Amino acid sequence: MHPATESEVSEILAGATGPLRVIGGGTRTIGRPVVGEVISIAGLRGLELYEPGSLTIVVRAGTPVAEVEAMLAAQGQRLPFEPMDHRVLLGTQGEPTIGGVVAANVSGPRRIQAGAARDSLIGLRFVDGSGSVIKNGGRVMKNVTGYDLVKLMAGSWGTLGVLTEVAFKVLPAPGAAASLHLSGLSDARALAAMSAALGSPFEVNGAAHLPQSGQTMLRIEGLAASVAYRAERLANLLAPFGAVSVDADGARVAAIWRDLRDVAAFAGRVGDVWRVSVKPSDAPGLAARIGGEVIYDWGGGLIWALVPEGTDLRAGLGNFAGHATLIRADASTRARIAPFHPEPAPLAAIAARLRAKFDPRGILNPGLMTA
């Protein structure tokens, strides 16, 4: 089913007699396999409101991310949270939608400074499992009132409602960028270097370590003169960790961090991919227990792990302060291993009550997030 309007979505959900598999562009095959009739929101596309002076944009949920980014770029602005394009890692086709970004709360390397997708989201409209249209938040930053369903819907993966419209606060795009690189650091030393950089006054908005290539990377963005000054000062700060090279070529810097954002290093390679969120100080020890190839992002707060197919990484890690999500695996593995980290019993009970409230018939992506 391919509704083109919010009212059509409402009619479909109100009249549904069985489970529905809710998708945007179909590029994120994550979670337990869902059996049901497909409803795609890709037909709900287009701009509703864009006020560059107010730093706000409102678009229909099926609008391709590329279109949103192009509209913003034309006005020298961007989405702050740098959404990942999962097609690179998952090998999927289609066009990522902005509603899919919100439903999955997709964020990239800049999250350590700008926050996640939910932190830029200021309003939305969605249709719940009974077909009712619900609006929450607003179209300007000061108008987020009442129950914060905006934050609730971000990361709900279509299990609470079908998004039809989303509103974001946006930010100016920087005039320049630089990527600083150190080589040959151990994981522990790399984490120490990233911590020192993130704790500095030089506004680092990207910090990653790739053990296989031995590269530790830091990103600075802003006005050209400011970037040059901060890059020099940061290089001096990091001198105890080794020689620092600075790349200020805008196109190369963008490509480096785009590949990191999309986990291009694991694309097309045999194995399952897990995403592990953890305290940065715990990251080296946890990575050692993973055993496979890893990539550190968010200053060590995010670990991407490539492991043999069918590996239950969560079982091997045991208890730790964080959560592990299975991002890439075949359908049989995703059916056998809970892709999303099991929630503590009190939180799981709250989540179940929310799903019962917003989707009383249990028709929206049923089972996708079950443990």
Q: How far apart, in whole angstroms, are the C-alpha atoms of residue 204 and residue 182?
A: 15
Q: What integer is the mean pLDDT of 144-150?
A: 67
Confidence bin at 141 (pLDDT 50/70/90) = low
SS3 323: strand
Q: What integer is the mean pLDDT of 3-11?
A: 95
Q: What integer is the mean pLDDT of 350-364?
A: 93
pTM of this structure: 0.93
Q: What integer is the mean pLDDT of 237-248?
A: 97
**Structural contact between residues 209 and 215, judged by C-beta atoms closer than 8 angstroms:** yes
At 364 the pLDDT is 94
At 144 the pLDDT is 47
At 370 the pLDDT is 82
- The residues facing 324 across adjacent strands are 276
Could you report the per-residue pLDDT of 88-123, keeping only the tens digit for each? 999 999 999 999 999 999 999 999 999 999 999 999
Q: How many helices (H) and strands (E) does the chain have?
A: 14, 17
Could you report the per-residue pLDDT of 153-195, keeping only the tens digit for each? 999 999 999 999 999 999 999 999 999 999 999 999 999 999 9
Question: With pLDDT > 70 as the criterion, what percentage of the chain qualifies?
Answer: 97
Confidence bin at 306 (pLDDT 50/70/90) = very high
- Which DSSP category does 52 fall into? G
**Structural contact between residues 150 and 137, judged by C-beta atoms closer than 8 angstroms:** yes
User: Residue holding tokens 């949103």?
Assistant: 68
**Helix (H), strand (E) at residue 149:** helix 149-153
Confidence bin at 319 (pLDDT 50/70/90) = confident
- Which DSSP category does 342 fall into? P
Q: What are phi and psi of 136, to 5 degrees?
A: -145, 150
Which two tokens mark 134?
């619900």
Calculate the CA dihedral of residues 20, 327, 283, 261 and round it to 10 degrees.
-100
| pLDDT value at 291 more than 90 | no
Strands (E) in 146-255, as ranges, are 162-169, 171-172, 176-183, 204-210, 215-222, 245-247
Q: How far apart, in whole angstroms, are the C-alpha atoms of residue 177 and residue 125?
A: 35
Q: How far apart, in whole angstroms, are the C-alpha atoms of residue 34 and residue 106?
A: 20
**Structural contact between residues 94 and 86, judged by C-beta atoms closer than 8 angstroms:** no
Which two tokens mark 198?
């993130």
Q: What integer is the mean pLDDT of 128-139?
A: 88
Calculate the CA dihedral of residues 257, 65, 304, 153 and round it to 10 degrees.
140
SS3 251: helix
**How crowded is residue 361: how many other Cβ atoms within 10 Å of its Cβ?**
14
